[in-house]
Structure 1
């Protein structure tokens, strides 16, 4: 299996989580304790090990070999466009949430001291 790395590096924990080998970041310690993980042919137990282009991760118990490869220039451009689109959508959602919050504050009637009710108090509490 090949994994295209768009950044300088990815940690072993992040790679396993992204590939759904583990379900959460906390599960990596147990996974590494119970399974043999080979980094370029050598046993690796560090969850924060930085993986770069050309590295090979092997999990013999699952008969899985992951090769970290560099993406093509076209894939890099597509990845940048996807990131830009996510950022654009996030900014729109943030603006909409701020506007909704402002509108809710405007629509709420201000309560005067006369209309406020005091909470019911029970004897002995």
Structure 2
């Protein structure tokens, strides 16, 4: 299996989660204690081990080898466009949430004002008192 690395490094835990070998990052400790994992041919048990371009991660019991490769210029361009789009959508959602929050606080302020304008009622009476 080939993995394209767009950053300087990825941790072993993140690599195994991203490739779908692990269901979550929390499963790494148990996975490493139960399975043999080779990093560039040597046994590795550190979940935070930094994996860089050119490294290989091997799971011999599963017959799986992950080669960490550099992406092509086209893949880098597409990745940057995807990140820019994700940032644009995130910004838009934050602005919408802020606007909705302001509208909600204005609406709540009106209801409080309406309550102040209504005449005061007598004290609350409880049965038997």
Q: Could you state the TM-score of these two structures normalised by the residue count of structure 1?
A: 0.89
1:48 is matched with which residue? 48
Deviations 1:1-56 (A, max 9, x none): 10000000000000001011111111100000000000011100000000001101
- Is the partner of 1:58 in helix, strand or coil? strand
**Within-5 A mapping of 1:1-125:** 1-108=1-108, 109-110=111-112, 111-112=115-116, 114=120
Q: Which runs of 5+ in 2 are unaligned?
A: none
Aligned-residue RMSD, C-alpha: 2.0
Structure 2 CA distance, aligned partners of 1:107 and 1:66?
A: 55
Q: How many residues align?
A: 119
- Is the partner of 1:61 in helix, strand or coil? coil
Structure 1 CA distance, aligned partners of 2:49 and 2:106?
A: 52
Structure 1 CA distance, aligned partners of 2:101 and 2:52?
A: 44
Q: Could you state the TM-score of these two structures normalised by the residue count of structure 2?
A: 0.86
Structure 2 CA distance, aligned partners of 1:43 and 1:6?
A: 25
Larger radius of gyration: 2
Mean Cα deviation higher: 60-69 or 101-110: 101-110
Q: Which has the higher helix share?
A: 2
Question: What is the CA-CA distance between 1:61 and the residue it aligns to?
Answer: 1.2
